[in-house]
Structure 1
Amino acid sequence: MTATGKATQFEYKALYKPNQLIYGLGQTAVITGWTVKQAIAKHLQPPEYAVIGQLYSPTRGINLLIRNLLFNPHVRFLVVLNATREDNNAGACQCLLDFFRNGFEEGVCDTGLRCWVIRSPIPGYIDLEVKASALEHLRESIKYQETKSISETVSLVKSYVQQKALAAWGLPLNFPMPTVEPTILPGPRYGHRIEGKTIAETWVKIIHRIKTTGTIRPTGYDGQWQELIDLMAIVTEEPTEFYFPEPNYLPIDRPFLEEYISQILDDAPSREGLKYTYGQRLRSWFGRDQIDQVIQKLIGEIDAASAVMNLWDVKDHEKGGSPCLNHIWLRVVDNELSLTATLRSNDMFAAWPANAMGLRALQRYIRDKISKSSEYNLKMGPLITISQSAHIYDDTWSNAEQLIKQQYATICRKIDYHDPAGNFLVEIAENEIVVTQTTPGSGEVVGCYSGKDALKLIREICTASPSIRGDHAGYLGMELQRASECLKTGAKYIQDSK
């Protein structure tokens, strides 16, 4: 306040994520973590704060937040609302506070690049392009305070307004930010299928597919993403206790997963400033426990095709903040319970592994409940996710590239020769190439193709069995060409011989 009692007005200018912030005219920046920023803003007037914004991730958000603060030296107070289970699970607010408490040191980020590493048990990074002297000056110049509730946050912000306005701690600072431009190969835009035994294996394949053929588009969040439309991921053999690679290259760990699973399985009370949880939508949002409904549905009609759970509320169109996970369908086939989930918008780098593990936990929970309450002892079938917008945000492109470089070739070397399209026996008989197709299990003959033209034969086979694996089709093409050459020269042909 000035000597006349009038609020001094400042202008906050954001270099990064400008459309994700609420702007005021004061000297206090408010970080709300996972609490929606509007829940704080509605209790304050613009002259009482400089900016209000959320912080979800320590590895993706803090670097941009610090850069914005460096460009706005009139901000002299920082209030960090660190109040929810989601805040504790993500650790972003704690890491930000640790930057001001403990400082930083030179190290490497999770992609192996040199950077400033925040001294915190929570990984947090700042670009090395930002001068250490500027970061130290920022730490010395801003008074920071952690809060645990909306009311405490509002009260603290209002108390700062009562103090005399402070001069800016320096001039606005802007440091060049490195960019990553992906190389994109041609590929289909709509409809993709990826399969793996574990969630970790499937995730690496997903990231590779998006990074190599995904379309780059602007997002509604001040950035870009690389996107594929309608990507179906199938996980066939995820173990009961979940597979975490060693060293762990997934963006989550076991403690995070335990908290996340509870957000899917358990109901949650409605609280001001907090969005729904998936568990809340499934358990009570529509006045019915949908998880219990599908359990009872399948116990009463094990072959039912209507074991459905819905998370989309028609009111979501009006108020925004609609759930990414919209629809869950369970099906029992041959004593095997599968779960198919539809996600309208899916961050495949940061969110999909947790989404998939949480859904797998839900699938197992339903399977176990059915087994305990009926004579059905169902096996765990596949988990299928259909991500309608499967995307990777530009602030994780470098992480994605590093993941592909380190893991994709290794995963591809773990070849499983099983092909649901069956097996193909190639031989020469009566001066023709003859290909016999058999089922993958019993070996029953289901198809026969013959001719002298290798290209014509492989096209015929792929037309009749469009789901044949790509590597299997390539192998068949080579064998058919070799058989064709033997047919021309009179040499003896034996499949798989050199």
Structure 2
Amino acid sequence: MTIAGKTTQFEYKALYKPNQLIYGNGQVAVITGWTVKSALSKHLEPQEYAVIGQLYSPTRGINLLIRNLLWNPHVRYLVVLNASKEDKNAGAGECLLDFFRHGFEEGVCDTGLRAWVIRSHVTGYIDLDIDAAALEHLRQSIKYSEAKSISEAVSLIKAYAQEEAIAPWGTPLEFPISTVEPTVLPGPRYGHRIEGRTIAETWVKIIHRIKTTGTIRPTGYDGQWQELIDLMAVITDEPADFYFPEPNYLPIDRHFLEEYISQILDDAPYREGLKYTYGQRLRSWFGRDQIEQVIHKLIGEIDAASAVMSLWDVKDHEKGGSPCLNHIWLRVVDNELSLTATLRSNDMFAAWPANAMGLRALQQHIRDKIAEISEYDLKMGPLITISQSAHIYDDTWENADRLIANQYAAILKQRNYDDPSGNFLIEVDNQEIVVTQTTSGSGEVVKSHRGKNPLNLLREICAASPAIQSEHAGYLGLELQKANQCIKLGKPYVQDQ
């Protein structure tokens, strides 16, 4: 490349997510969306592009991408690949193009803070601490194009690379991001259980648990995450048409969900640059339709414990890009169909609600198919997800804190006091405390505890019923102490009074 008769090579330097990019020494920035970067780079020479990177989310990725472009004013061309159904569903590429097409205005982001809002039907933000004049200068200084296929993107990049080099539009501009380290309370490292009636309710509880006691660790993606290991989420009563709160605080909406469900239920042909879809792994990857297999497995043996679907391919160890969702089990107990899924790595803030709703749709599909072609009319049981690495990335910590502040207290007020461990009736008899345990449904007496020391009684009860809810155990402690005081004072004891 030559500028004013001098041959030059440019060097792209990324301030943010530097290890996630492919670097060249040209003047074209390439955004591939959900298509893997190498699908384009293998068709190009380094001198034909400045940088190649993926963009998954308009609310998480564009803000960093813009900062990197401001630091690299030699970039004068932008090619955005909008090729896949995933790209159209996420809308990140469309939102980025709308930034250059239509600009931005001051508004409020979903955390309630002031921000530059991109003028687009797709929600996207840029930090307000980036100077508006710098953003306008960037918009006016870069020529942009949209590509609908890999071949079209390659042609555009090569055409731009043939143009005479253009001088940088200015000097590098840096707008640092301020970060706040969360306060982490002590808690167990492995094995966590969270239950809720709906996916939305359970999600808020999950985010609160991770932000409260999750360990902060570096990721392989140029950042940090806060993580719990082996988190089991149990959803008991998600409605068939899905519950979306009003106003909707989930990171997805119904339109996104419709597209996402098809990625789990439907097969998909191979497409260059896209690794897989969950539906492809379930329907055809291993040469068998695993969804049909488990349907017929359960019809033939309704209480089978082997209705299993696997998305893990042993070749994933070698080639990378392995699916986050690994295994799915279906089980019928007491005419109730439950689904359990394991995920090796789970972005609990941005991805888990869609994961859970997609799995619930799969569970409903299997239940309905069994009812359609057999005599079994099963009830919908719980959905259980087990996330080996349940984490929140640092670029959504602020959003997570805002969610907790706005929603967690309200959800706690809607708590269900039913405890699967049963109910405990407390009485005083002959200067001793008597605790009778009954089933939560029929009220059948199953065990009795008797003694004078409230602490010893509480320990005995918790040892006999280790799954007792923590709030229930606290309540028992208070009531047992009250009963003990009544014995000492010679007063009658009545539970809950």
The interval holding the TM-score normalised by the smaller chain is: over 0.9
- 2: distance between equivalents of 1:405 and 1:417? 23
**CA contact under 8 A between 1:295 and 1:370: conserved in structure 2?**
yes
- Which residue matches 2:212? 212
- 2: distance between equivalents of 1:281 and 1:143? 39
- 2: distance between equivalents of 1:303 and 1:248? 38
The structural deviation recorded for 1:176 is: 2.0
Normalised to the residue count of structure 2, the TM-score between the two structures is 0.99
The structural deviation recorded for 1:415 is: 2.3
The structural deviation recorded for 1:344 is: 0.2
Residue 258 (structure 2) pairs with residue 258 (structure 1): yes
- Which residue matches 2:312? 312
- Which residue matches 1:123? 123
Residue 371 (structure 2) pairs with residue 385 (structure 1): no
Q: Which amino acid aligns with 1:223?
A: G
Q: Which amino acid aligns with 1:381?
A: G
What is the SS of the residue equivalent to 2:434?
A: strand
- Which residue matches 1:300? 300
Normalised to the residue count of structure 1, the TM-score between the two structures is 0.99
- 2: distance between equivalents of 1:135 and 1:268? 39
The structural deviation recorded for 1:445 is: 1.0
- 2: distance between equivalents of 1:31 and 1:87? 11
- Which residue matches 1:330? 330
The superposition leaves residues 271-292 of structure 1 with CA deviations (integer Å, 9 ceiling, x where unpaired) of 1011200000000000000000
Q: Which amino acid aligns with 1:409?
A: A
> 443-452 or 358-367: which moved more?
443-452
- 2: distance between equivalents of 1:176 and 1:384? 41
- 2: distance between equivalents of 1:3 and 1:110? 44
- 2: distance between equivalents of 1:227 and 1:85? 30
What is the SS of the residue equivalent to 1:345?
A: strand
The structural deviation recorded for 1:431 is: 1.3
- 2: distance between equivalents of 1:227 and 1:484? 42
- 1: distance between equivalents of 2:322 and 2:415? 40
Which runs of 5 or more structure 1 residues have no equivalent in the other structure?
none
- Which residue matches 2:144? 144
The superposition leaves residues 211-263 of structure 1 with CA deviations (integer Å, 9 ceiling, x where unpaired) of 00000000000000000000000000000000000000000000000000000
Q: Which amino acid aligns with 2:225?
A: W
Q: Which amino acid aligns with 1:207?
A: I
Which runs of 5 or more structure 2 residues have no equivalent in the other structure?
none
RMSD (CA atoms): 1.1
The structural deviation recorded for 1:5 is: 10
- 1: distance between equivalents of 2:391 and 2:372? 39
**CA contact under 8 A between 1:7 and 1:47: conserved in structure 2?**
no
Q: Which amino acid aligns with 1:330?
A: L
The structural deviation recorded for 1:382 is: 0.2
**CA contact under 8 A between 2:3 and 2:166: conserved in structure 1?**
no
Q: Which amino acid aligns with 1:481?
A: Q
1:265-414 aligned at under 5 Å gives the runs: 265-414=265-414
The structural deviation recorded for 1:306 is: 0.2
- Which residue matches 2:425? 425
The structural deviation recorded for 1:6 is: 9.7
The superposition leaves residues 366-419 of structure 1 with CA deviations (integer Å, 9 ceiling, x where unpaired) of 000001111100000000000000000000000000000000000001121110
- 1: distance between equivalents of 2:12 and 2:61? 18
The structural deviation recorded for 1:3 is: 8.5
**CA contact under 8 A between 1:8 and 1:26: conserved in structure 2?**
no
- 1: distance between equivalents of 2:3 and 2:142? 23
1:81-100 aligned at under 5 Å gives the runs: 81-100=81-100
- 1: distance between equivalents of 2:295 and 2:128? 53
> 202-211 or 116-125: which moved more?
116-125
- 2: distance between equivalents of 1:33 and 1:442? 55
Q: Which amino acid aligns with 2:185?
A: L
- Which residue matches 1:446? 446
- 2: distance between equivalents of 1:65 and 1:3? 26
**CA contact under 8 A between 1:78 and 1:143: conserved in structure 2?**
yes
**CA contact under 8 A between 1:8 and 1:47: conserved in structure 2?**
no
**CA contact under 8 A between 2:95 and 2:118: conserved in structure 1?**
yes
**CA contact under 8 A between 2:294 and 2:308: conserved in structure 1?**
yes
Count of residue correspondences: 497
- 2: distance between equivalents of 1:80 and 1:417? 52
**CA contact under 8 A between 2:115 and 2:127: conserved in structure 1?**
yes
The superposition leaves residues 307-329 of structure 1 with CA deviations (integer Å, 9 ceiling, x where unpaired) of 00000000001111000000000
- 2: distance between equivalents of 1:176 and 1:327? 41
- 2: distance between equivalents of 1:48 and 1:322? 30
The superposition leaves residues 421-470 of structure 1 with CA deviations (integer Å, 9 ceiling, x where unpaired) of 00000000121000000111111111111111111111110011010011
- Which residue matches 1:61? 61
The structural deviation recorded for 1:4 is: 12
